[in-house]
Amino acid sequence: MLIEVDFAGDIPIYTQVRDQIVIGIAAGLLLPDEPLPSVRRLAADIGINVHTVNKAYAQLRDEGYIRMDRRSGAEVAPPMEKSPSYLATLETKLYPIVAEAICHRAGAGDICDVVNRVFLALGDRGEDGNE
């Protein structure tokens, strides 16, 4: 599970780390209860500060993606429950993106094609046949 960071981009480093770990969990590269590298270790590997990694980990913990213990370190959390309230959050995030797509003359099919492409790219090991 290699994590790379773009220092030149306008996306915060801790957000990049957080996103890549979420992607790793979604893709099945990070399995439940699997230990994550310690904050100091990952910071040294990437070449960033400990607090930056800690901020990413803390956010992941608050969002329920990982579990942190002062002694045993950080671990991937068990799979989430399927909460309908998340769909409202998803809709809020998709609203400006879909509007942009419409302005670029993309149809709903075009957007869903991209969604399915990303889904397949992540889903090689991410699905376990729940539906």
Partner DNA sequence: CGCTTGTTCTATATCATGTATAACACATAT
Partner DNA sequence: ATATGTGTTATACATGATATAGAACAAGCG
106 near a second copy, rule: CB under 8 A: yes
DSSP 39-93: HHHHHHHHT--HHHHHHHHHHHHHHTSEEEETTTEEEEPPPPP--THHHHHHHHH
Position among 1, 45, 49, 102 found at the interface with DNA (CB under 7 A)? 49
51 near DNA, rule: CB under 7 A: yes
Nearest approach, Cβ of residue 79 and DNA (Å):
21
The one segment of 46-54, 79-87, 106-114, 120-128 that binds DNA by CB under 7 A: 46-54
Strand boundaries in 2-106, DSSP class E: 66-69, 73-76
Cα(53)–Cα(18) distance, rounded to whole angstroms? Answer: 9
Q: Which positions touch DNA (CB under 7 A)?
A: 10, 12-15, 36, 38-41, 48-52, 54-55, 57-58, 61, 68-71, 73-74
